[in-house]
Structure 1
Amino acid sequence: MQIIQFILDLGPTVMMPVIITILGVLFGQKISKAFRAGLTIGIGFAGINLVIGLLVNNLSPATQAMVTNWGLKLDIMDVGWPIAASISFGTTIVPAVFLIGIFINTVMLGLNWTKTMNVDLWNYWHFIFTGALVMYLTNNVVIGLIASALTIIIILKLADFTAPYVEKFFQMPGVSLPHTETVSWALVGIGINKILDKIPGINKINFDTDTIQKKFGIFGEPMIMGLILGAGIGGLAKYQVKEIIVLAVNMSAVMFIMPRMVRILMEGLLPLSESAREFINKRFPGKEVYIGLDAAVVIGHPAVISTGLIMIPITLLIAAILPGNRLLPFTDLAVLPFLVIWAVVPSKGNIIRSVITSTIMVCFMLLIATDIAGVATIMAKDVNFAFPEGTSTISSLDAGAHLIPYIIFKIVQLFMT
């Protein structure tokens, strides 16, 4: 556990260069080339994390002001994904899930059951979260670990299935996204998009970022869209003029800088992808391998960020009127761009379709977050989580986005009754 914790504490900015350098050497690169590629990827991740920090640090106060100003009162507090991750890492099954995850991925690669080599070790907390939910539901560690293993297998297969979409839409060859709370919704997003194809009127609307830029000129450029959307959110938060301007410029900066940070990361990743392809082709002709990364590498797309920003007020409205919802969206409103990725990709960046699909997804996310709140609260108490004053029950919008873990959780719950 101390070894695992030491590695995790390094964070992706340091952890990724180490992993990529080791992989590069294993795939036959010179150590200098492998180290350069690894360091470049680390720099790319550092840049992405800085921009995500800019996004979250500016959006969080605005979303909290919106919650306060709109007078929403619901009894389950959205404590955010960082708390869900820290609670997961505080459970007893952490070392076992890491060992199981690495073993499963290695065996599946060796037997050609997956093409994804998941190097996103930090987000193993998703698999731990699944196991912990089931373990606390059943009071059985073994069943919890089986749930984690099933989640790992399913997510790897979904990452394989969606990799061609990632390559085509985000221009990222050789990359897959085994990121549980995002890729879990890929089939849902693809299915909804197929339904929208058959609805007269909607199926004729093409409102992607390229079309917007052609029709509106400078006002359709990503930086200007960020400026407008940031100002809109500031207005809904009832900010003063000065605060609205600051938020608008910072959202403009996010839209402008993020794609450049992703390009830096890809500069380091492409040599590894090429070396991996050559290494595999020599030993296993025809076999393909994807590098499994955090979904953070794709949220810089203008359509993803735009859809995420538009969904902030819509999510608050849904939370207020959705029957059965008890979750007060709060901390995780700022990370909605992550949760809408697989609404955007199947629609090929069509903002109208993306918002429609995201709205449907968010309804389910809120209900899932509400349903698992009881077990999530027990987990939090067991690891001595400090509850916010006046809060007795917690969950998070991100936890509600863990669709595959939730399905496994409900199946186990069904067999218990």
Structure 2
Amino acid sequence: MQIINFILDLGPTVMMPIIIMLLGLLFRQGFPRAFRSGLTIGMGFAGIFLVISMLTSNLSPATQAMVTNWGLHLDVMDVGWPIAAAISFGTPIVPAVFIMGLFINVLMLSMNWTKTMDIDLWNYWHFIFSGALIMYLTNSAILGIIASGITIVIILKLADWTQPYVAKVFDMPGISLPHTESISWAPLGILLNKVIDNIPGINKIDINPEKIQERFGVFGEPMLIGLVLGAFIGILAGYTVESVVKLSVNMAAVLFLMPRMVRILMEGLLPLSESGREYLSNRFPGKEVFIGLDAAVVIGHPSVMAVCILMIPITLLLAAVLPGNRILPFTDLAGLPFCLLWAVAPSKGNVFRGLIISTIFMVGILYIATDLAPVTTLMAKQVNFPFPEGTAAISSLDGGAHLIPYIIFKMVGIFH
């Protein structure tokens, strides 16, 4: 645990460059080139997380204002993904899941059962979360570890299957996204997009930032879209004119800066990807490997950001009107791009379809988060999580987005 905690405490901006540099040396890049690739990727991740922090710090007060203005009162508090991660890392199965996860990935790569080399070690907490749910349901650490292993295998296979979308829609060849709360929804998103393909009239509607920019020039650029969406959220939050303008400019900055940060990241990844393909083709002819990364590298896509900003008021409305929902969306509203990514990708960035599919996703996420509240609350108490004053039960939208772990949880619950 001390070794694992040391690695995790470094954070992605330090941990990822070290991993990338070691992989570069393995692929015979030479130290100077491998060092530069690793450092460049670290700078890219630092930039991405700075922009995400900017997004969160601006949207969180706006969503809190909307909750207050709309008079929403629900008894399960959305405490956000960082708390879910902290709860997961506080469970005793952490070392076993880390060791098992690395072993499964290496084994599947060597046996050609997967093409994804998952180097996103920080987000192993997703797999631990799956195991922790089962452990607290069954009081068995062994069953929890097995559940984590099943989750890892499924997520790696989904990452392989969806990689063509990552390459075509987000222009990231050789990259896959084994990110549990995102990719768990990919099969449903792809299915719903095919259903829309067969609905006359609806299937002709295509609202895409690229096409908007082609038609309207500078007024269709992502930063202008961010400006308009920021103003829309500010008005719904009941902000003053000054606050609306500030939020608008900051949202414009997010949509402007995020793609540039991703380009910095790709500047470091491309040399690694090329040398990796060359190294593997020389030793294993025909073998292809994808580098598995955090979904943060693609959430800055203008269509993803546009859909997710629009989904903030829609999510609050759904929480208010859905019968049986108990969770009050709050902290994770700024993290919707991670949860709803695969509502947008299958339609190749069509914002109209993205909104329809995201709304269906969000109905499921709210109900799953509500259903997980008792076990999430129990897990939080076991690791001495300090509950917000007046809060008896907690959950998170991010936890509700862990569809594969939830399915495993419910299946085990049937037989337990």
TM-score band w.r.t. shorter chain: over 0.9
How much has 1:217 moved relative to structure 2?
A: 3.2
SS state at 2:123 partner: helix
> When the two structures are superposed, what TM-score results if normalisation uses the length of structure 1?
0.99
Letter in 2 for 1:300: G
SS state at 1:323 partner: coil
How much has 1:340 moved relative to structure 2?
A: 1.5
Which residue of structure 1 aligns with residue 90 of structure 2?
Answer: 90
SS state at 2:239 partner: coil
SS state at 1:346 partner: helix
Which residue of structure 1 aligns with residue 319 of structure 2?
Answer: 319
In structure 1, C-alpha distance between the alignment counterparts of 2:210 and 2:127, rounded to whole Å: 37
Which residue of structure 2 aligns with residue 146 of structure 1?
Answer: 146
Which residue of structure 2 aligns with residue 172 of structure 1?
Answer: 172
In structure 1, C-alpha distance between the alignment counterparts of 2:371 and 2:201, rounded to whole Å: 36
Q: Within 5 Å, which residues of 2 pair with 1:281-296?
A: 281-296=281-296
How much has 1:80 moved relative to structure 2?
A: 0.3
Which residue of structure 2 aligns with residue 209 of structure 1?
Answer: 209
In structure 2, C-alpha distance between the alignment counterparts of 1:343 and 1:252, rounded to whole Å: 22
Q: Deviations over 1:306-362 (max 9, x none)?
A: 000000000000011112211100100111122111011111111110000000000
In structure 2, C-alpha distance between the alignment counterparts of 1:74 and 1:41, rounded to whole Å: 41
How much has 1:218 moved relative to structure 2?
A: 2.8
In structure 1, C-alpha distance between the alignment counterparts of 2:219 and 2:238, rounded to whole Å: 24
Which residue of structure 2 aligns with residue 392 of structure 1?
Answer: 392
Letter in 2 for 1:221: E
SS state at 2:113 partner: coil
In structure 1, C-alpha distance between the alignment counterparts of 2:121 and 2:181, rounded to whole Å: 15
Aligned length: 416
In structure 1, C-alpha distance between the alignment counterparts of 2:37 and 2:255, rounded to whole Å: 25
Which residue of structure 2 aligns with residue 23 of structure 1?
Answer: 23
Which residue of structure 2 aligns with residue 222 of structure 1?
Answer: 222
Alignment partner of 1:55 is 2:55: yes
Letter in 2 for 1:328: L
Q: Within 5 Å, which residues of 2 pair with 1:3-402?
A: 3-402=3-402
How much has 1:189 moved relative to structure 2?
A: 0.3
In structure 2, C-alpha distance between the alignment counterparts of 1:377 and 1:51, rounded to whole Å: 31
In structure 1, C-alpha distance between the alignment counterparts of 2:340 and 2:407, rounded to whole Å: 19
In structure 2, C-alpha distance between the alignment counterparts of 1:291 and 1:411, rounded to whole Å: 31
SS state at 2:77 partner: strand
Unmatched runs of 5 consecutive residues or more in structure 1? none
Contact (CA 8 Å) 1:67, 1:316: kept in 2 or not? yes
In structure 2, C-alpha distance between the alignment counterparts of 1:324 and 1:220, rounded to whole Å: 40
How much has 1:210 moved relative to structure 2?
A: 1.6
Contact (CA 8 Å) 1:117, 1:289: kept in 2 or not? yes
Q: Deviations over 1:266-325 (max 9, x none)?
A: 000001101110111111100100000000000111000000000000000001111221
SS state at 1:113 partner: coil
Letter in 2 for 1:244: V
In structure 1, C-alpha distance between the alignment counterparts of 2:279 and 2:184, rounded to whole Å: 30
How much has 1:214 moved relative to structure 2?
A: 2.9
How much has 1:212 moved relative to structure 2?
A: 1.7
In structure 1, C-alpha distance between the alignment counterparts of 2:257 and 2:357, rounded to whole Å: 27
Q: Deviations over 1:118-148 (max 9, x none)?
A: 0000000000000000000000000000000
How much has 1:206 moved relative to structure 2?
A: 1.2
SS state at 1:372 partner: helix
SS state at 1:340 partner: helix
SS state at 1:153 partner: helix
Contact (CA 8 Å) 1:170, 1:298: kept in 2 or not? yes
In structure 2, C-alpha distance between the alignment counterparts of 1:20 and 1:49, rounded to whole Å: 18
Contact (CA 8 Å) 1:208, 1:350: kept in 2 or not? yes
> When the two structures are superposed, what TM-score results if normalisation uses the length of structure 2?
0.99
In structure 1, C-alpha distance between the alignment counterparts of 2:339 and 2:91, rounded to whole Å: 25
Letter in 1 for 2:201: G
Q: Deviations over 1:144-188 (max 9, x none)?
A: 000000000000000000111100000001000000000001001
Contact (CA 8 Å) 1:155, 1:178: kept in 2 or not? yes
In structure 2, C-alpha distance between the alignment counterparts of 1:253 and 1:48, rounded to whole Å: 12
In structure 1, C-alpha distance between the alignment counterparts of 2:300 and 2:376, rounded to whole Å: 31
Q: Deviations over 1:373-399 (max 9, x none)?
A: 100000000000000000010000000
User: Identity across aligned pairs (percent)?
Assistant: 70
How much has 1:215 moved relative to structure 2?
A: 3.3
Unmatched runs of 5 consecutive residues or more in structure 2? none
Contact (CA 8 Å) 1:308, 1:338: kept in 2 or not? no
How much has 1:227 moved relative to structure 2?
A: 0.3
Q: Deviations over 1:58-107 (max 9, x none)?
A: 00110111111111111110000001001111111111110010000000
* RMSD between superposed Cα atoms in Å: 0.7
In structure 2, C-alpha distance between the alignment counterparts of 1:234 and 1:336, rounded to whole Å: 18
In structure 2, C-alpha distance between the alignment counterparts of 1:285 and 1:217, rounded to whole Å: 46
Letter in 2 for 1:14: V
